[in-house]
């Protein structure tokens, strides 16, 4: 099943933080891969721990995508 990758303008309109699966979709990677990077401390985007989960900071995601 194909996944619709959001545009940069759509991502800019997202809330201040988003779920790891949503951020992974924007990056074009699997959520398990992004979870692994976060666990290793090697995430390309900034995250916040929140109630046992991580949230991705949208501004960090936008910066990364703007630079690529």
Query: Per residue in 40-65, pLDDT tens?
Result: 999 999 999 989 899 999 999 999 99
* pLDDT score recorded for residue 3: 72
Identify the band that residue 2 occupies on the pLDDT scale cut at 50, 70 and 90: low
Reported pTM: 0.91
Query: Per residue in 7-22, pLDDT tens?
Result: 999 999 999 999 999 9
Look at the alpha carbons of 53, 4, 9, 44 in this order and tell me if their dihedral is positive or negative: positive
Rounded distance, CA 2 to CA 18, Å?
21
């Amino acid at each position: 099943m194909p996944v619709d990758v959001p545009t940069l303008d759509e991502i800019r309109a997202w809330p201040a933080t988003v779920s790891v699966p949503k951020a992974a979709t924007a990056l074009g990677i699997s959520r398990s891969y992004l979870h692994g990077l976060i666990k290793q401390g090697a995430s390309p985007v900034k995250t916040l721990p929140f109630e046992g989960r991580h949230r991705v900071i949208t501004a960090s995601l936008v910066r990364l995508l703007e630079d690529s």
